[in-house]
């Protein structure tokens, strides 16, 4: 692990004891006097290092350990074992200097007060982080312009659209200009246009201020647009740490061949050329093993009434689903 990393973790582990209880009066009484527990391994031996200014995607299904890892890296949880340093600090000591260097934004949580203007929350945060009035106005102006929120900051939060509220949450979280951003599903529930706006803002914020970003998202478009590097966690263990392109190479040993035919063909007529994923009218989508791609494409062009043909990587969503199904890392073939 690099000593220059701004986010560093070694063997980070979090276990929980969960009480077991059956649903009956007798079981309730037994549970009161004699409790049995089950060990939940939320995070198991995660090690990582993130350099200053990197934007890294953190992927995993629900319950994989993403949020628990983020909470340990931000000091909200104390690990069962392992070490971590973020921006030069041990997170769970929650030192004032540390808290000024990081932020955590969770798409399903909010800090804005529903009936008050967002500007009131901004002023509260400015007081907490000891931001002078002149600097406060400057930062609010810069961020509001980047987020296209001018004219919205003095309206009650309840009158803002969901996308505008998420932008205001980001502004509140970034007002103290943190060095490290931990973002847990920041585009959760947003429409496509709002998702694009948040992605564009994060990309520009990273470019302008050199902030380090660790981002979790179920929207693969977020990851593809923002994250050259990804971490994949499953059942508490880190399965993959590397380039997004490397993830595609390792877990997608096939290519997608899109066909536009001169006339429709039944699915049975296409199965000899690859795994048929979709057929609709004259359009078809096949999966072909990478090592046989040239051979199969030649056969398709020779034997089928092809009007147009396109070869591309399979959708990232399918690749990630494959990672979770396998639950382990395969060496490239």
pLDDT for 5 equals 96
Which of 156, 24, 10, 22 is closest to 84 using CA atoms? 10
Residue 46 has pLDDT above 70, yes or no: yes
Question: What does the pLDDT look like over 73-91, one tens digit per residue?
Answer: 999 999 999 999 999 999 9
pLDDT for 322 equals 73
pLDDT for 332 equals 34
Q: How far is CA 68 from CA 16, 60, 78, 79, 184, in A?
A: 11, 12, 10, 9, 11
Query: Could you identify the residue written with the tokens 């034997």?
Result: 303
Residue 330 has pLDDT above 70, yes or no: no
Residue 43 has pLDDT above 80, yes or no: yes
Pair of tokens at residue 226: 């923002």
Residue 3 has pLDDT above 90, yes or no: no
Q: What is the mean pLDDT of residues 161-168?
A: 94
pLDDT for 31 equals 67
Phi-psi region of 264 (alpha: psi -120 to 50; beta: other; left: phi over 0): beta
Are 200 and 122 contacting, i.e. CB atoms less than 8 angstroms apart?
no
Query: CA geometry: angle at 160 spanning 222 and 206, to 5°?
Result: 35
CATH class of the domain whose range is 7-248: alpha beta
Q: What is the mean pLDDT of the chain?
A: 91
Q: What is the mean pLDDT of residues 240-253?
A: 85
Strands 55-59, 212-216: pairing is: parallel
Give 214's pLDDT tier (boundaries 50, 70, 90).
very high
Domain limits, the chain: 7-248, 253-312
Give 2's pLDDT tier (boundaries 50, 70, 90).
low
Question: What does the pLDDT look like over 263-288, one tens digit per residue?
Answer: 999 999 999 999 998 999 999 999 99
Q: What is the mean pLDDT of residues 90-114?
A: 94
Give 318's pLDDT tier (boundaries 50, 70, 90).
confident
Query: Could you identify the residue written with the tokens 């070869």?
Result: 311
Give 1's pLDDT tier (boundaries 50, 70, 90).
very low
Q: What is the mean pLDDT of residues 11-34?
A: 80
Give 154's pLDDT tier (boundaries 50, 70, 90).
very high
Q: Regarding predicted confidence, which is higher, 277 or 138?
A: 138
Q: Which residues contact 137 (CB under 8 A, 6 or more apart)?
A: none
Question: What does the pLDDT look like over 284-313, one tens digit per residue?
Answer: 999 999 889 999 999 999 999 999 999 988
- Record: fold of 253-312: Alpha-Beta Plaits (3.30.70)
Q: Poorest-confidence range of 9-18, 63-72, 138-147, 249-258?
A: 249-258
Residue 329 has pLDDT above 60, yes or no: no
Query: Could you identify the residue written with the tokens 């004891």?
Result: 17
């Amino acid at each position: 692990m690099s000593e220059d990393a701004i986010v560093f973790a070694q063997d980070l582990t979090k276990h929980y004891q969960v009480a077991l209880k059956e649903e009956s009066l007798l079981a309730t009484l037994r549970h009161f006097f004699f409790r049995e527990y089950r060990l939940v391994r939320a995070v198991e031996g995660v090690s990582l290092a993130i350099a200053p200014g990197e934007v890294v995607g953190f992927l995993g299904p629900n319950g994989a350990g993403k949020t628990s890892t983020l909470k340990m890296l931000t000091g909200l949880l104390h690990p069962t074992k392992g070490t971590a340093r973020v921006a030069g600090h041990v997170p769970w000591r929650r030192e004032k200097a540390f808290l000024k260097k990081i932020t955590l934004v969770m798409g399903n949580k909010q800090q804005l007060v529903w009936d008050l203007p967002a500007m009131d929350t901004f002023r509260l945060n400015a007081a907490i982080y000891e931001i002078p009035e002149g600097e406060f106005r400057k930062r609010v102006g810069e961020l509001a312009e980047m987020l296209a929120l001018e004219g919205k900051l003095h309206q009650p939060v309840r009158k803002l659209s969901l996308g505008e509220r998420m932008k205001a949450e980001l502004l509140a979280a970034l007002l103290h200009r943190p060095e490290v951003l931990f973002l847990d599903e920041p585009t959760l529930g947003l429409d496509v246009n709002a998702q694009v706006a948040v992605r564009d803002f994060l990309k520009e914020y990273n470019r302008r201020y050199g902030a380090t970003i660790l981002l979790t998202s179920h929207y693969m478009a977020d990851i593809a647009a923002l994250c050259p590097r990804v971490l994949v966690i499953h059942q508490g263990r880190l399965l993959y740490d590397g380039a997004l392109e490397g993830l595609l190479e390792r877990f997608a040993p096939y290519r997608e061949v899109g066909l536009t035919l001169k006339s429709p063909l039944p699915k049975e007529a296409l199965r000899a050329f690859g795994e048929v994923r979709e057929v609709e009218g004259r359009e078809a989508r096949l999966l072909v093993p990478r090592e046989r791609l040239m051979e199969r494409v030649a056969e398709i062009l020779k034997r089928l009434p092809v009007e147009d043909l396109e070869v591309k990587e399979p959708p990232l969503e399918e690749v990630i689903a494959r990672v979770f199904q396998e639950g382990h890392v395969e060496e490239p073939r």
